Structures are given as C-alpha cells and as structure tokens.
Amino acid sequence: MICPQPGEVNIGNCTTQTCSACGYVMKGKEHLTLRDREWECPNCHTSHKRDQNAAQNILQRGLELAAML
Ligand SMILES: [Zn+2]
C-alpha cells in the first residue's frame, strides 16, 4: 500500500489508518480491517469511530490542499 504524498487527497486506506488526533499511521499488525468499526490510537489513546476518523482526515487533507492554492 502506497500512502499519498502531502497535498494529495486520497480517500482510500490511508485516511482510515491515520489517527485524526495525532497523525499516527497504523502499520503492520495494527492495521485496521473493515471489521474494526471503532479503535483506539496506540500513540495518543484517542478512541475513534472508523468512518468519522477517516472523514476528519479527508477534511484535514482538503484544508491543507486549499491552503496551498
Ligand atoms: Zn493518535
């Protein structure tokens, strides 16, 4: 799996695997599957709902992209 470069908005896996609170990316065995509806970040221990967390990341990427224009 290839994560998008900064500035690229990708609505694939990477938004799901990234903690919207601290930016930690789940890797290896930590990787979330479609069955993981809710999870806790191993780095900052924030509880996330999978889809809500992904939406936060997409919003954040969009805002970063807009800031560069
Ligand atoms: Zn976190």
Of the chain, the percentage scoring pLDDT greater than 90 comes to 72
pLDDT tens figures, 20-69: 999 999 999 999 998 999 999 999 999 999 999 999 999 998 999 999 98
Q: Residue 63 falls within a domain, yes or no? A: yes
Distance 67 CA to ligand 1 centre (A): 23
Q: What pLDDT score does 14 carry? A: 77
Q: Residue 2 falls within a domain, yes or no? A: no
Q: Residue 27 falls within a domain, yes or no? A: yes
Q: What pLDDT score does 69 carry? A: 87
11 Cβ contact partners less than 8 Å away, ≥ 6 residues apart: 54, 58
Phi, psi dihedrals of residue 10, rounded to the nearest 5°: -125, 120
Distance 18 CA to ligand 1 centre (A): 8
The average confidence (pLDDT) of the chain is 86
Q: Residue 40 falls within a domain, yes or no? A: yes
pLDDT tens figures, 9-33: 554 557 899 999 999 999 999 999 9
Distance 23 CA to ligand 1 centre (A): 6
The number of domains in the chain is: 1
Q: pTM of the entire structure? A: 0.75
66 Cβ contact partners less than 8 Å away, ≥ 6 residues apart: none
Token code pair at residue 25:
């990316």
| Structural domain that includes position 50 | 13-68
Q: Residue 37 falls within a domain, yes or no? A: yes
Distance 28 CA to ligand 1 centre (A): 16
Q: Residue 5 falls within a domain, yes or no? A: no
Q: Residue 7 falls within a domain, yes or no? A: no
14 HSE (CA, 13 A, CB side): 14
Token code pair at residue 4:
């998008």
Distance 25 CA to ligand 1 centre (A): 8
